[in-house]
């Protein structure tokens, strides 16, 4: 007679998917009300990190897949909301101190970084790390494809049906139904 795990594996489930389910169940127990799941169809490969500070929240829609080395972190009462049918490739980061909302049917390539905050730099003579953060919410619409090594910064809204090319630094809003990419040289200016 097979137990629940034996029945689960005998139906053709690969052991790695069982480990994903166990990891997700662990996070659900650890974070309780701070983690909201539309279903248990969220897969976190090895070396993924989910951190939710007290007072913060992370919500996952149906079916989300996180490749190895991806971090999802919420601090300072921020909420991260990720829609259904979401895929993010390896070594990506989604970090919130204000809030990040990602719509349905989004695909992120490897090493994408989404940060809704920056260190403040308005106190001359004080190390940046001691000045705290400025943060503004990020909203990413439905059906968005972010290429490899894209950075999305604070306060940005990306509309629906958008492709962002590899290596693009997104610092301002992107309208719906757009392909955006950057081709630029390094620009140097004096730090004040």
In the chain the domains, ranked by start, together with CATH numbers, are 35-180 (2.160.10.10)
Q: How far apart, in whole angstroms, are the C-alpha atoms of residue 8 and residue 183?
A: 50
pLDDT tens-digit profile of 33-66? 999 998 878 989 989 999 999 999 999 999 999 9
Q: Give the per-residue pLDDT at 172.
A: 94
Length of the chain as a residue count: 192
Query: Contact at 8 Å (CB) between 17 and 38?
Result: no
Q: Which residue has the tokens 């101190």?
A: 97
3-state class of 167 per DSSP? coil
Q: How far apart, in whole angstroms, are the C-alpha atoms of residue 53 and residue 184?
A: 37
pLDDT tens-digit profile of 107-150? 999 999 999 999 888 888 899 889 889 999 999 999 999 999 99
Q: Which residue has the tokens 């604070």?
A: 154
């Amino acid at each position: 007679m097979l137990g629940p795990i034996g029945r689960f594996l005998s139906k053709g489930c690969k052991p790695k998917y069982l480990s994903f389910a166990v990891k997700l169940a662990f996070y659900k127990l650890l974070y309780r009300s701070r983690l909201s799941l539309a279903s248990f169809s969220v897969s976190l490969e090895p070396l993924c990190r989910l951190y939710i500070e007290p007072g913060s929240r992370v919500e996952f829609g149906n079916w989300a897949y996180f490749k190895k080395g991806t971090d999802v972190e919420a601090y300072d009462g921020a909420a991260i909301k990720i829609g259904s049918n979401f895929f993010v490739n390896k070594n990506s980061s989604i970090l919130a101190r204000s809030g990040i909302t990602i719509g349905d049917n989004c695909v992120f390539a490897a090493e994408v970084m989404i940060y809704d905050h920056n260190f403040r730099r308005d106190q001359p003579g004080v190390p940046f790390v001691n000045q705290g953060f400025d943060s503004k919410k990020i909203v990413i619409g439905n059906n968005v494809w972010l290429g490899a090594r894209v950075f999305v910064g604070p306060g940005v809204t990306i509309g629906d049906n958008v492709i962002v090319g590899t290596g693009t630094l997104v610092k301002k809003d992107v309208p719906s139904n757009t392909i955006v990419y950057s081709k630029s040289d390094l620009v140097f200016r004096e730090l004040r």
